[in-house]
Amino acid sequence: MISNVETRIDNVFSQALNIFQEKMANYGTAWLGLSYLGFADQIFIKAHRYKILVHIKKRKITDPPELELFAIINYCILFLIARNKKTLAEIFNSPIAMFESPPQTARKRLLRHYKREISKALDLQKKKDHDYGSAWQSLTLEGLADIIFSKVVRLKQMLLSGKTPLDDEDPDGIAATLRDLINYSAFALVHMQPKS
């Protein structure tokens, strides 16, 4: 039987996918122009704003903090896809993809890879949930904001030190950190939802 928490996490990822599709309709594939550090900086900006909003609870821009978490999820997924140039070539099959509206076939391939990355993040989440005993459910939003922010700082440090994002086997590597960020952002979003 699927738990209420699992259902809520699945709902978070469904919402993230919907937001991603809306953004792609509005902005196309501009993200293809980001370098590894460009992705890290985008994630840093979102994590920094989320941390500030959670801790000071005041804002002058009306965008809710939840949007920052969805953006972190989506930028992490795009980074995981974009880190492999062969994958990008397979998806878009065009050297000028960022300047053109992707054909329907490319959109379908991109969504397939997007969903694959969600599955990998969920697989990691289930393994860690088993070993840590669902400890994340006892964390505060402030604690989650701090964890997310510190992981992004660590991500930038790894990239600046020359660590490659292509290693999927390193449990402390860039890919693992990106998947942790996806999962911690999902946990924070679950915490923000009213409990049914």
143-177: pLDDT as tens digits: 999 999 999 999 999 999 999 898 888 888 999 99
Q: What is the mean pLDDT of the chain?
A: 89
Enclosing domain of residue 61: 4-192
From residue 58, alpha-carbon distances to 42, 49, 51, 54, 141 in Å are 22, 11, 11, 8, 15
Residue 96 has pLDDT above 70, yes or no: no
Which pLDDT score is estimated for 1? 35
Residue 47 has pLDDT above 80, yes or no: yes
* Number of compact structural domains in the chain: 1
Which pLDDT score is estimated for 25? 87
Q: What is the pTM of this model?
A: 0.92
Which pLDDT score is estimated for 3? 65
Which pLDDT score is estimated for 2? 47
Residue 196 has pLDDT above 70, yes or no: no
Averaged over 133-141, what is the pLDDT? 81
Averaged over 118-145, what is the pLDDT? 84
Residue 102 has pLDDT above 90, yes or no: no
User: From the centroid of its chain, how far is CA 44?
Assistant: 12
User: From the centroid of its chain, how far is CA 86?
Assistant: 21
Which pLDDT score is estimated for 100? 76
